[in-house]
Amino acid sequence: MNKAAGKYSKDIQDKIYFYLLMSFGFCLILPRNFTVIILILLLLNWLVKLDFKNSFLKLINCSYFIVFILPFAILIIWLFGTDNFEYAFFKIEKSLALFIFPLVIFSSRPLQQNEYRKIFKAFILSISIGSIIAVLFALYKRYIVSGLTLIELNNFFIDIPLLYMSHIYFGYYVVTAVILTIYIYMTEPNLKTGTRTAIAILLLYLCVFIMLCAGLASFISILAVGLFLTIAYYSQINKRFLIAFALMATTIGCLVVLKGSNNTLERYKQRFNVSFKTIENNPYNYSSTRIGPLLAGLTIIKDNWFLGVGTGDTQDEMAVVYVEKGLDRLLGFNSHNQYLDFLMTFGIIGLFVLCLFYFYPLIKSLKLRQYHYTCFLFMIIICSITENILENNKCIFLLAFFNTLLASQMVTNNAAKHFIKRTI
C-alpha cells in the first residue's frame, strides 16, 4: 500500500514538474513576476521529493551541470574583491535562474521527446500570440493615440515589441522561436500537409518580424542559423535542406524588398558605421553608446585584466572612466559586450569561464548532431558581442531555461542511442 502511494505521489510530482516547465516556457514573454513564481514552484516541487542523495549523485556525474553553474558560482566567489555589495547581491539575485534550472532539470527524471516538443510548442505559441498583440499595440499607439513625441514616433518597428521588452531582447526570443519551429517541423512524426503549410507561414512571419523589428544581432543570428542548417543538411536534399534554404532566402528577400530609403534598412546601416574617431557625449547617438562603453571597458581592463574589479564594481568603475573621458551623459550604460563584461568583472578567469559556458555545449551539440541546440548557442554567442545578456532578467531566464532544457534533451537522446546499441 505504501509503495503504491509512494509511486502515485512520484507520478504526480513528475507531472507537476513537466507542466511547470511548459508553463514557464509559455510565460517567458510575460512580466518577470509570472516566471519568478513558476521558478519558485519548480524549486519547491523538487525539494518535496526529498531524494537528495540520488539527486546529488546525478549532478556530480553531469559535466553539463558543473559547466552551467560556473557563471553563477563566479559571481559568489568574486564577492571577495568587490566594494559595492549592494549591487553585487542584486546581480546574484538576478542570476539565480542560472543555478536553479541546472540544479532541478539535471537531477530530475528525463523528459520524453513528446514532452520536450510540447514545451517548445508552448513557447512558440506564446511568442506568436505575443508578437501579433505587440503589432496591434504598436498600430494603436501610432495611429490612434495622439500627443506622442517625435522620438516615440521615429521608428514604428522599434515600437512594436515594447509591450513586453525592448526590441533587442524580444528579437532573441523570436529567433529562438524560429529555431524551435524548425526543430518541430523536422522531428514531428506524421505532420499533415495543412500543418506543414501553417508552420511554413509561421516561419515566414517570424523571419519578417525579425528583419523589421529586432536588433542587428538577431538579424545576423537568423542568417547564421539559415547558413548553418543549409551546410549541415547539404547532403540530404529533402525537406530539411529546403526548410533551411527557405529560411535564408526569406530573410535575404526581406532585404531586397526593403531596399531604398526604408528606415529599417537605414537603422541596420547605422549599426555598421560605428567609429572610434567620433565619440559624442550623447546618449542618443548609436556610435557613442556602443564605442563609448567599449572604450571605458578597455580602459578598465588595462589595470584589472587578471582578476577583474569584482562582482559589484563594474558599473562604478565605468562611471569613473565616463567622467574622465568627458562622456558623463553615458553614465549607466553597461559595456554592451558580455565577453568584455566578464573580463572586466572577473578578469581572464571570468572570460575563460564564459567561453567554457558557451563553447563546451556547442562542441558537444555539433558532435552529437543536435543542430537545433547548436543554432540556439550560435545566437547566444553572436548576441553576446553586442549585449550583456547576463545583465538582463529576460535574457537570463531565456538562456538559463533553454540552455539547460536543450542540453538535457541532448543527454536524453544520447543515452537512448547508446541503450538501443546495447540491446541490438
Q: DSSP letter for 110, please.
A: P
CA 256 to chain CA centroid, Å, is: 28
- 382-397 mean pLDDT: 93
Q: Are 385 and 337 in contact (CB under 8 A)?
A: yes
Max mean pLDDT among 166-170, 328-332, 398-402 falls in 398-402
Q: CB burial class (10 A; 0-12, 13-18, 19+) of residue 365?
A: buried
Q: Are 251 and 226 in contact (CB under 8 A)?
A: yes
- 270-283 mean pLDDT: 74
CA 48 – CA 53 distance, rounded (Å): 14
- What's at 109, amino acid-wise? R
Percentage of the chain exceeding pLDDT 90? 46
End-to-end CA distance of the chain: 37
- pLDDT exceeds cutoff 60 at 257: no
CA 361 – CA 83 distance, rounded (Å): 34
Tell me how many helices (H) and strands (E) the chain has. 20, 0
- Judged by average pLDDT, the poorest of 68-77, 236-245, 359-368 is 236-245
Higher pLDDT, 312 or 280: 312
0.95 exceeded by pTM: no
Helix then strand then coil, % of the chain, to nearest 5: 80, 0, 20
What are the backbone angles phi and psi of residue 270, rounded to the nearest 5°? -60, -35
- Judged by average pLDDT, the poorest of 75-89, 136-150, 175-189, 257-271 is 257-271
- Judged by average pLDDT, the poorest of 252-256, 295-299, 331-335, 361-365 is 252-256
CA 264 – CA 390 distance, rounded (Å): 27
Q: Are 314 and 35 in contact (CB under 8 A)?
A: no
CA 296 – CA 283 distance, rounded (Å): 15
Instruction: Give the residue among 424, 412, 423, 419 at the shortest CA–CA distance from 368.
Output: 412
Q: CB burial class (10 A; 0-12, 13-18, 19+) of residue 228?
A: middle
pLDDT in tens, 186-239: 888 788 888 888 888 888 888 888 887 888 899 889 888 888 887 777 665 556
CA 308 – CA 346 distance, rounded (Å): 4
- 401-416 mean pLDDT: 89
CA 401 – CA 352 distance, rounded (Å): 22
421: number of Cβ within 10 Å: 8
Question: Could you give the dihedral angle defined by the CA atoms of residues 180, 181, 183 and 186, in that order, rounded to the nearest 10 degrees?
Answer: 180
- What's at 174, amino acid-wise? V
CA 233 – CA 228 distance, rounded (Å): 9
Higher pLDDT, 381 or 140: 381
CA 160 – CA 132 distance, rounded (Å): 9
Q: CB burial class (10 A; 0-12, 13-18, 19+) of residue 117?
A: middle
